[in-house]
Structure 1
C-alpha cells in the first residue's frame, strides 16, 4: 500500500524534478573529481607524475595501489612515510581533502599505463 502512495506521489511531481535530481549526482561526482585532480596536481604530481604514472615517487594507480588499502593510503598522505621522501600533508590538507585524494587515486586513470 505504501508503494502505491509513493508511486502516486511521484507521478504528481513535475518531470523537471527528476531531471534535476538525476543531474545533481553526476555533477557532484564530477566536482569532487575535479577538486581531487587539482589537489593531486598541486601536491602530488611533482613526485608521482602528472598522469600518476610515477617519477621520484611510485605510480599512484589502482593497479599499483592494490596491496595498499585506502585507509593505509589516507594514513600515508596524512602522516607521511618514515625513511622516505613522502612528507606528511596533515598540516596542508584536511580530512575531506585527503579522502577525496584517496578516492581519486583508486579510480582508473584517464591515461591508462602502457607498461
Structure 2
C-alpha cells in the first residue's frame, strides 16, 4: 500500500521532463524558506545539521531519492517524531524544498 501511495505521489509531484520546474512566487518562497528554517529546523537543527532529526544537508541527502524525501515530507514517518506536512505544503512545494535541500538550502531573505 505504501509503495502504491509513493508511486501515485510521484506521478502527481513531478512535471513532464520538458516542463519548467515548479518555482514558488517570491512571497511563497519566503514562507517556504521560513518553514524549513524554523519548523523543520526545530527538529533537524536551525542550521539543518541535525538534532532530534537527521541532518538535511546536501551531503547527507545527495544519494537519497527525491521521491522518497517528498513522500516523507508529505506523509511523515509513522512511529517517529516526523509529522506529515501535507496540510502546509503541496507536493510541488515539497519537491521544491527537496531540490533545494539537495543543492544547499537558501537563507531567509
TM-score scaled by length of structure 2: 0.63
Query: Structure 2 vs 1, CA of residues 92 and 35 (structure 1 numbering), >3 Å: closer, same or farther?
Result: closer
Answer whether contact 1:36 1:100 (CA < 8 A) is retained.
no
Matches within 5 A, 1:59-98: 59-98=55-94
Gaps of 5+ in 2: 1-22
Displaced runs of 4 or more, over 6 A: none
Aligned-pair RMSD on alpha carbons?
Answer: 2.6
Gaps of 5+ in 1: 1-27, 111-115
Higher relative CO (CA 8 A, sep ≥ 6), structure 1 or 2? 2
Output the CA distance in 1 between the equivalents of 2:91 and 2:101.
15
Q: Rg larger in 1 or in 2?
A: 1
TM-score scaled by length of structure 1: 0.60
Output the CA distance in 1 between the equivalents of 2:100 and 2:30.
9
